[in-house]
Amino acid sequence: MYFLLKFAPLFLAVSVCHGWLFGDFVGKQKELDEISLWPLPQKFQSSAVAFKLSPARFQIVYAKESSAGPSCSLLENAFRRYFEYMFGDLKKHEKSRKKASDSDLVELKVWITAADPECDGYPSLQTDESYELTVDAPSAVLKAANVWGALRGLETFSQLVYEDDYGVNNINKTDISDFPRFAHRGILLDSSRHFLPLKVILANLEAMAMNKFNVFHWHIVDDPSFPYISRTFPELSQKGAYHPFTHVYTPSDVKMVIEFARMRGIRVIPEFDTPGHTQSWGNGIKDLLTPCYSGSTPSGTFGPVNPILNSSYEFMAQFFKEISTVFPDAYIHLGGDEVDFSCWKSNPDVRKFMEQQGFGTDYSKLESFYIQRLLDIVAATKKGYMVWQEVFDNGVKLKDDTVVEVWMGNKMEEELQNVTGAGFTTILSAPWYLDYISYGQDWQRYYKVEPLSFPAESRHKDPCVERTAAVPR
């Protein structure tokens, strides 16, 4: 907490609707007598024995026993990155490297223990991010099953380094054993309401890694704009982006975000929210949205995706086939929130369809009809899906591995109880919306939320599953 009071946020996740902010607070400056680790490790023991650390002598190396070595580009990249975080520009040190200076600690040995270090893999919901770190002269040792735990441990090591009164780098004798409380620690960025340049997204990913966040929930399109360039349907961004060339994400931009995130142990989960929140889709795809009526004539405005046309589902099948190959994560977020029924109600064809299906005047049944077909389409691509809570509330039949995201603040605990009671994994975002910030230090309550403060008997009994139950610690 002390840490957070001292440093201003460098990056803010900007979102009007579904943003949640947590932990975008970065501070690398160290002072004596502070335990400035963030987030605090599970087990932490430090002593007043301080070792000098000279950038001219110190190296990050592989332990002899490590299953990963110099051919692991993910770790090579991380070693370079963390060396620079700790000591500044590498080139500057090339000169001073020749002049040997005192260093009590000469190396950090990184020891990957699993047979497959996962150098070329992607992190997942099941990833083991645990690590053990021992700092003692002359060698510190960082032990982790795979590269993902090693990334978290490197972050912790870098946070332990501080400058003494003479400007010399120090690190204290320390023992740490650490693992995350929750398997999903996410930040949502909305790049539709405000287009976010690539470098802003990368800077956010960097800040996330410094705070051990591991999921970038990319709310990439929405009503206002469609910046994602689809290879299958280029007209979506050509007609739906704020600008078809400057305010778009090209296939290579998307690849870069995914790889930059992977290098930092971060999953990228794209959200393509339907049937609501789709005004920008309608610019490029004819007949995708429902025509709204004013009395007996079309009003010229459009509502959610038209659920009564087969062409809507044919479009979704092709579109999500592409999305499932572009994004490597096992999950796609399908949205499903805040569907406004007024346009559907106004449309005589929709009313007729409701009658034929026996839905009466219950438009949530029509919404479920649409979502059900969409889920079947996406399940056929072999991806899992995440949905906003309304989809669960409306009684849509969900695959067992569906993740339900609880975003509404009222009756949050009851909702968590219902979702987990039905056997689903849940992600909680309700308490961490950025637009809850009004004035002063009211953000403190973000840190006081206990995600598991709902009755325990309805939660999963399996502690592994429970670990996946919510957002940050």
Where on the chain is the footprint of ligand NAG (CB under 6 A)? 32-33, 35, 46, 48, 50, 172, 310, 393, 411, 414-415, 418
Catalytic residue among 76, 163, 235, 338: 338
Q: What stretch of H or E contains 220? A: none
- If the CB atoms of residues 7 and 44 are measured against ligand NAG, the closer one turns out to be 44
Q: From the CB of 261, what's the least distance to ligand NAG, in Å?
A: 31
Q: From the CB of 308, what's the least distance to ligand NAG, in Å?
A: 9
- If the CB atoms of residues 16 and 32 are measured against ligand NAG, the closer one turns out to be 32
Helix, strand, coil abundance in the chain, percent, nearest 5: 35, 20, 45
Q: Which residues contact 270 (CB under 8 A, 6 or more apart)?
A: 218, 220, 228, 323, 327, 332, 333
Q: From the CB of 446, what's the least distance to ligand NAG, in Å?
A: 22
Helix residue spans in 123-230 (DSSP H):
147-160, 198-210
Alpha-carbon span 85 to 155, nearest angstrom: 10
Q: From the CB of 324, what's the least distance to ligand NAG, in Å?
A: 22
Task: Judge contact between 183 and 125, C-beta under 8 A.
Answer: yes
**Of 51, 74, 46, 76, the residue nearest 177 (C-alpha):** 46
Alpha-carbon span 20 to 428, nearest angstrom: 10
Alpha-carbon span 282 to 279, nearest angstrom: 6
- Measured in whole angstroms, how far is the alpha carbon of residue 365 from the centre of its chain? 31
- If the CB atoms of residues 150 and 171 are measured against ligand NAG, the closer one turns out to be 171
Q: From the CB of 392, what's the least distance to ligand NAG, in Å?
A: 9
- If the CB atoms of residues 228 and 315 are measured against ligand NAG, the closer one turns out to be 315
- If the CB atoms of residues 84 and 163 are measured against ligand NAG, the closer one turns out to be 163
- If the CB atoms of residues 48 and 115 are measured against ligand NAG, the closer one turns out to be 48
34 is catalytic: no
Alpha-carbon span 428 to 266, nearest angstrom: 18
Q: Which residues of 59-72 are buried (b: 16+ CB within 10 A; e: fewer)?
A: ebebbeebbbbeeb
Alpha-carbon span 30 to 6, nearest angstrom: 11
Q: From the CB of 37, what's the least distance to ligand NAG, in Å?
A: 9
Q: Is 466 helix (H, G, I), strand (E, B) or coil?
A: helix
Catalytic sites, residue numbers: 338
